[in-house]
Amino acid sequence: MSIASDALREEVRERYARSALAVTEGAGGCGCGSDLCCGADDPAGFGEALYTAEQRGELPEAAALASLGCGNPTTVAELREGEVVLDLGSGGGIDVILSAKRVGPTGLAFGLDMTEEMLALARANAAAAGIANAIFLKGVIEAVPLPAHSVDVVISNCVVNLSVDKPAALAEIARVLKPGGRIGISDVVAEDHLRPEQRAERGSYVGCIAGALSRSEYEEGLAAVGLEDVSVDFTHRVADGMHGAIVKARKPINHLEA
Ligand SMILES: C[S@@+](CC[C@H](N)C(=O)[O-])C[C@H]1O[C@@H](n2cnc3c(N)ncnc32)[C@H](O)[C@@H]1O
């Protein structure tokens, strides 16, 4: 990675560490209205409001407060009992907790995050929710610390846009999925006509806007790592020409490793 990419990743890590500490100290999520984190440029379309009242009722208050996503990937992924789920950029643990409940005691939910403060918050939230089948791992989504073919479902909520090496992150998704495995990802996605500099005019990188892929870039990136049945569906507007989106794809049974 370049020095510029290293610096950008460190800026992301530092901002989300502050966000986790704000929740831990009882100050609420990302300090919306500041430039702290995802949704800070325009909080509508981000956070706990994207979950049903029933789901919020299943969560400790701090987990809901820490929600910084732009969708609700657990409903998209249609999780089943016994499955192994991996949440890329698990933050305060909201989607890991909901996933662990869906897959039940015979299943397992992994959360992966690079920010120590977020991992501490997520572990505390999972313990408060009485979750025994969740494991939180420290690492980056561009080098997932899990073996190949070990996961049934990869979910993620507003994190791929923050990656400084998106081809590597998408390749890791394909690597860890079992043949026949699937993804259900929520992310910010730009309309195809918006050039990267136009995306950057609409919001910051740490605010989950400037780093967003376009719909075609997402589709082509997932196809390039060998996934099929790719779809990118816009769900709600988050900025001019930019949307919360549901991204789905499947790993073929006879997938050829890159
Ligand atoms: C916008 S928040 C979303 C958190 C969570 N998914 C949610 O819905 O509340 C982004 C999270 O991804 C983590 N993150 C960002 N880039 C990452 C990377 N390259 N590898 C691992 N974690 C990353 C941050 O530390 C932060 O916890």
Q: Name the residue at shortest CA distance from atom 5 of ligand 1.
A: 91
Q: Is 159 touching ligand 1 by the criterion CB < 6 Å?
A: yes
Q: Is 157 touching ligand 1 by the criterion CB < 6 Å?
A: yes
Burial class for 137, CB neighbours closer than 10 Å (0-12, 13-18, 19+) = middle
Burial class for 33, CB neighbours closer than 10 Å (0-12, 13-18, 19+) = exposed
pLDDT at 75: 80
pLDDT at 256: 65
Q: Is 12 touching ligand 1 by the criterion CB < 6 Å?
A: yes
3-state secondary structure of 172: helix
Look-up of token digits 């460190």: 10
Q: Which numbered atom of ligand 1 lies nearest the CA of 113?
A: 22
Q: Name the residue at shortest CA distance from atom 14 of ligand 1.
A: 89
pLDDT at 77: 81
List the one residue out of 19, 4, 46 whose CA is nearest residue 188: 46
3-state secondary structure of 104: coil
Amino acid identity for residue 141 in this structure: I
138: enclosing H helix or E strand: strand 134-138
Q: Which numbered atom of ligand 1 lies nearest the CA of 37?
A: 1
pLDDT at 16: 94
Phi, psi of 255 (to 5 degrees): -60, 135
In this structure, are residues 103 and 84 in contact, taking their beta carbons and an 8 Å threshold? yes
Cα(254) to ligand 1 centroid in Å equals 31
CA distance 213 to 69: 16
Cα(89) to ligand 1 centroid in Å equals 4
Q: Is 68 touching ligand 1 by the criterion CB < 6 Å?
A: yes
Residues of the chain predicted below pLDDT 70: 27-37, 39-44, 256-258
pLDDT at 32: 36
Cα(90) to ligand 1 centroid in Å equals 6
Q: Is 72 touching ligand 1 by the criterion CB < 6 Å?
A: no
- Per the prediction, the chain carries an average pLDDT of 91
CA distance 172 to 191: 25
Phi, psi of 50 (to 5 degrees): -80, 0
Phi, psi of 95 (to 5 degrees): -80, -25
pLDDT at 40: 60
Q: Which numbered atom of ligand 1 lies nearest the CA of 163?
A: 19
Pocket mutation for ligand 1, best pick of 8, 59, 114, 186 (most atoms within 8 Å of C-beta): 114
Pocket mutation for ligand 1, best pick of 46, 70, 117, 159 (most atoms within 8 Å of C-beta): 159
What's the first-to-final CA gap in the chain, in angstroms?
A: 20
Q: Is 89 touching ligand 1 by the criterion CB < 6 Å?
A: yes
